Amino acid sequence: MLARIWALVIKEFLALLRDKKSRFVLIGPPLMQLLVFGYAATFDLNHIPYAVYNQDSGFASRELLGHFQGSAAFQQVATITHDGQIAPLIDNQKALLVLQIGPNFTHDLLLHHPASVQVIIDGRNSNTATLALNYVNSVILSFDTHWATTHHWGKPPAQLVVRSWFNPNLLSRWFIVPGIVALLTLVVTLLVTGLSVAREREQGTFDQLLVTPLSPLEILLGKALPGFIIGALEGVFITLVGMFWFQVPFIGSILALALGMALFLFAAIGIGLMISSLAVTQQQGLLGVFLFLVPAIFLSGFATPIANMPELVQDLTYINPMRYFLMIVRGVFLEGDGVHELWSQYWPLALIALGSMTAATWLFRHRMQ
């Protein structure tokens, strides 16, 4: 059985590598997309969830917080009472930033001493963090102007101190490049598997497979393994380019990334084989791949934050495998996550992979009959 599957795998690789167009699709577009996204892609911010850690009981701090509460750009999601509550809010992405006001804020202002406000911000998405800091600066400036006018100050009284977690320099590349690992791995895997069975039908060689000693399961495995191998190689290559060319730090567990990539590849292969089993020609297979690919990218959180989407659309993202792999790859790159921290992403991805492979098996057997 293994010998027959391996022979079919070799046949698939030869069919891909002998075709100049197939070789170009596997190498050219992913490399160009990597460079374009790595250097040019940016994101916008729609709203800013923040938490308040007010250690001051004076009226000045309440007045400052009133400026934030009155701004349409901010949405308060939590009130913090001690230092230990800061890290879970940022780590779990429940708040984009924490606004910390020191215990002597009002006292310092009344004595005409500069008072500082510390902002602890999630730096994983550097573009979002930079835009959020601009909004914070505008609110602080509004408060400074009002306070200086009311209390006859000659200079702005409050000073902003910023701490960025996970991405200290707020480089957009640190957020975008890990996402490209998921994006291009999905693209290549879907193209390889989504066209495999359709190519056999179009070239007239599918009937030849049916008269060979290969069982339907062996044919399915022979079609799936090339996609898994090529997708894994593509993912490893993009990861290495991100680390050594774009200088994105990789501080997490290699095992955590490998496990997430394996589950993601199984899910993508199942979807690709489902598309290929339904398609009669390669053109239909290619159309099916892009019909799935575009919504999958937009519903993954790669282009826009999932929290900004309507609730019904947010519910649809739970069946999208790219959503979970994006969390895994960014967690491994920027947050230093291991297998334990990412377990909540693994089991939904495993269920999607099991469901897609089961559906692909049923469709393949049905089409052969």
Give pLDDT tens digits along the chain (369 positions).
677 767 767 776 776 666 666 666 566 666 666 665 555 444 545 578 999 999 988 888 888 898 888 877 788 899 998 888 888 888 888 888 999 998 888 888 887 777 878 888 888 777 678 788 888 888 888 888 787 777 776 666 666 666 777 777 767 778 888 888 898 899 889 888 888 777 777 776 666 666 667 777 777 788 888 889 988 998 999 899 888 988 888 988 999 999 999 999 999 999 998 888 888 777 888 888 888 888 888 888 887 778 777 788 888 889 999 999 999 998 898 888 889 989 999 999 999 999 998 988 888 777 665
- Phi then psi for 350, rounded to 5 degrees? -65, -40
Contact in structure between 197 and 223 (CB atoms under 8 Å): yes
Position 40 scores a pLDDT of: 44
Rg (alpha carbons) of the chain, rounded to whole number: 26
* 3-state class (DSSP) for residue 244: helix
Distances, alpha carbon 359 to alpha carbons 55, 137, 165, 281, 353, in Å: 56, 52, 42, 20, 10
Question: Is the pTM of the predicted complex or chain greater than 0.75?
Answer: no
* 3-state class (DSSP) for residue 213: coil
Position 346 scores a pLDDT of: 94
Distances, alpha carbon 232 to alpha carbons 89, 203, 224, 239, in Å: 33, 27, 12, 10
79 contact partners, CB below 8 Å, separation of at least 6: 51, 52, 54
Domains of the chain: 1-42+172-368 (no CATH), 48-151 (3.40.1710.10)
Contact in structure between 291 and 279 (CB atoms under 8 Å): no
How far is 206 from 112, CA to CA, in rounded Å?
Answer: 83
How far is 265 from 205, CA to CA, in rounded Å?
Answer: 26
124 contact partners, CB below 8 Å, separation of at least 6: 165, 166, 167, 174, 175, 330, 334, 335
Position 353 scores a pLDDT of: 93
In whole numbers, what is the pLDDT of the chain averaged over residues?
Answer: 81
Q: What is the largest CA-CA distance in the chain?
A: 92
